[in-house]
Amino acid sequence: MSPQPARVVAILGMHRSGTSCLTGSLQEAGLDLGDCHTWNPYNLKGNRENQAFVDLHDSILAANGGAWDAPPGTRVWRQAHRQVARDLLASHAHLPILGFKDPRALLLLEGWRELLPNLECVGIFRHPDAVALSLHNRSRMPREQALLLWYAYNRILYREQRRQRFPLLCFDEAEAQFTVKVDKVIGILKLQPPAEPQRFYDNELRNYSAAGNERLPWRLRWLYHRLRRASL
């Protein structure tokens, strides 16, 4: 076995669903992310992603004929991918607890679980309309495509949360309620809650709500309802 951190936490969720906010909040509480992005034009506090993890995930998806916005039907990790992942973990083996966040990880979770049987997870989701609006703003993605992606990612999130029963948050909640639930997650992970003035959450950075005028397909409404019921 290659060396690896004593604990590894994956923050899981669809793109534009609050994963950066949750990850930054956990980082403030002591979760080490390694070398992560702290700024980009569409997220002024940074998406908190470690580029090495993102590059690995993109490589696996491409090798299976897909991409983040075109999830492949099969997602096989080649031996070379496993070795890159082992090396990546080994480079952080000195850390007592390592966190990584990349929405693509949801599509590749089985491979991570093979390498990390004790992988800890935290999940977050957001209303389909808010995600679709945000993806259109960032990538000019058509609503129909965004909703299909929302369903593809969140169906996996719901399935995995039912399997492992990890903490799940809803990014549609008001700031005060969301912060209380982030603190619950911090407690579950045995991290240290930050002082109030240092909170990572900034409501001004959450630009899109679920106030859509078009009716959602029934399977998206059903899945969103199930996620809400499974959340903290």
CATH code of 85's domain: 3.40.50.300
Token pair of 197, please? 């003035």
1: in domain: no
CB of 101 closer than 8 Å to CB of 19: yes
Domain count, the chain: 1
Domain enclosing residue 71, as ranges:
7-198+212-230
Element (H, E) at 100: strand 97-101
Residue 66 lies in a domain: yes
Other C-beta atoms closer than 10 Å to the C-beta of 228 total: 14
For residues 202 and 69, give the distance between their C-alpha atoms in angstroms, rounded to a whole number: 27
Do the domain assignments include residue 204?
no
What pTM was estimated for this model as a whole? 0.91
| Digitized pLDDT (tens) for each residue of the chain, 232 residues in all | 789 999 999 999 999 999 999 999 999 999 999 886 554 544 545 567 899 999 999 999 999 999 999 999 999 999 999 999 999 999 999 999 999 999 999 999 999 999 999 999 999 999 999 999 999 998 899 999 999 999 999 999 999 999 999 999 999 999 899 999 999 999 999 998 877 655 666 665 555 556 555 789 999 999 999 999 999 9
Query: How far is the C-alpha of 137 from the C-alpha of 199, rounded, in Å?
Result: 26
Residue 2 lies in a domain: no
- 89 falls within a domain: yes
d(CA 94, CA 206): 35
Amino acid at 62: A
